[in-house]
């Protein structure tokens, strides 16, 4: 499906990181030739308040002048997650600050990014590296699970910035030995099965990379064995990637809070910005009207 952007929506919490969120959103909007919309989402976030109140209009003027983009400032303050999802609509990228803590009253629902990813089909870019918000992403790590959606993730990563170097990363989960031992599976069969599993995963990873080479000049594959989120964080730090792209399936609030999937752990453990793509984003969400 790829990244088909018609607009960028930056939801700021009026904390000191808001300027970095707007700058990153403006850089992407200028690169893709689309408009930028700004909305005050401070009522929905738990960010640290600024020492002096930030002026959203000043941020809008600065983005328009510095990055030469069309900026629209939404006057109405966001009062619900559904309102932000409606403003985003389809074919939009939502840019948010990273919330290091979550408001107590919405703890079970998760952060604003968690709630938006459950509600709408737009990719969400969570800004963590505020210091380099105006620079291009030199290196991008794409964490894939070798399902058919992996190629879409790589395509989106390449389209976000076609000058970035891509690392396509996959971690194969190790076999849990206890059930196999209880079933009295010979050690040689276990080793042969694991070797074949690794070989098949590496072949799939190379197929994904070969498809990405058609539109991207610099593509590498990284393969390891272990827990995916932890190894993705280690690889991001080792490669000094400025952006990590990961997919996430949409679940209701309770399973999402209890399971704490790979995407949520990557978001918490990596130091880079995180682009989270809903894997079922082609399906329109029917819950906007219910939550309005």
Taking the C-alpha atoms of residue 191 and residue 185, their distance in angstroms, rounded to an integer, is: 10
> How many whole angstroms from its chain centre is CA 282?
16
Which of helix, strand or coil describes residue 127? Answer: strand
Model pTM? 0.86
What is the number of other CB atoms lying within 10 angstroms of the CB of residue 34?
18
Taking the C-alpha atoms of residue 36 and residue 125, their distance in angstroms, rounded to an integer, is: 14
Average pLDDT over residues 100-108: 63
pLDDT digits (tens, 9 = 90+) for 82-100: 999 999 888 899 999 998 7
pLDDT exceeds cutoff 90 at 102? no
pLDDT exceeds cutoff 70 at 255? no
pLDDT of residue 195: 85
pLDDT digits (tens, 9 = 90+) for 110-167: 788 888 988 888 999 999 977 666 678 999 999 998 888 899 999 999 889 888 899 9
Average pLDDT score, the chain: 83
| Domain 136-272 superfamily per CATH | HUPs (3.40.50.620)
Share of the chain above pLDDT 90, in %: 41
pLDDT of residue 33: 94
pLDDT of residue 105: 56
Which of helix, strand or coil describes residue 149? Answer: coil
CATH code reported for the domain at 1-130 = 3.40.50.620
pLDDT digits (tens, 9 = 90+) for 59-79: 999 999 999 999 999 988 898
pLDDT of residue 251: 66
pLDDT of residue 291: 37
pLDDT digits (tens, 9 = 90+) for 11-32: 998 888 888 999 999 999 999 9
Taking CB atoms within 8 Å and a gap of at least 24, the contacts of 26-29 are 26/63, 26/66, 26/67, 26/69, 26/71, 27/67, 27/133, 27/134, 27/136, 28/93, 28/95, 28/125, 28/160, 29/67, 29/69
pLDDT exceeds cutoff 90 at 109? no
pLDDT exceeds cutoff 70 at 1? no
pLDDT exceeds cutoff 80 at 177? no
Confidence of residue 104 (pLDDT cuts 50, 70, 90): low
Q: Which tokens hold the place of 72?
A: 């629209």
Q: Where are the domains of the chain?
A: 1-130, 136-272
pLDDT of residue 273: 95
């Amino acid at each position: 499906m790829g990244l088909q952007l018609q607009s960028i929506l930056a939801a700021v919490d009026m904390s000191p990181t808001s300027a970095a969120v707007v700058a990153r959103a403006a850089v992407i909007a200028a690169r893709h030739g689309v408009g930028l919309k700004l909305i005050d989402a401070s009522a929905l976030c738990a960010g640290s308040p600024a020492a002096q109140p930030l002026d959203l209009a000043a941020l809008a003027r600065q983005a328009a002048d510095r990055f030469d983009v069309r900026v629209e400032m939404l006057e109405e303050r966001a009062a619900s997650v559904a309102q932000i999802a409606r403003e985003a609509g389809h074919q939009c990228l939502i840019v948010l600050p990273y919330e290091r803590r979550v408001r107590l009253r919405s703890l079970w629902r998760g952060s604003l990014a968690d709630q938006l990813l459950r509600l709408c089909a737009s990719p969400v870019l969570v800004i963590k590296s505020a210091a380099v918000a105006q620079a291009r992403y030199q290196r991008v790590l794409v964490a894939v699970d070798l399902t058919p959606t992996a190629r879409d993730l790589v395509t989106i990563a390449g389209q976000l910035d076609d000058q970035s170097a891509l690392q396509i990363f996959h971690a194969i989960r190790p076999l849990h030995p206890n059930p196999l031992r209880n079933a009295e599976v010979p050690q040689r069969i276990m080793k042969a099965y694991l070797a074949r599993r690794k070989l098949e995963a590496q072949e799939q990873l190379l197929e994904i990379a070969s498809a990405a080479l058609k539109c991207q000049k610099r593509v590498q594959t990284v393969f390891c064995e272990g827990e995916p989120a932890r190894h993705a964080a280690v690889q991001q730090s080792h490669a000094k990637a400025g952006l990590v792209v990961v997919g996430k399936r949409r679940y209701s609030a309770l399973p999402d809070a209890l399971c704490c999937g790979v995407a949520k752990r990557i978001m918490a453990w990596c130091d880079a910005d995180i682009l989270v793509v809903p894997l079922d984003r082609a399906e329109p969400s029917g819950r906007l009207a219910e939550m309005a």
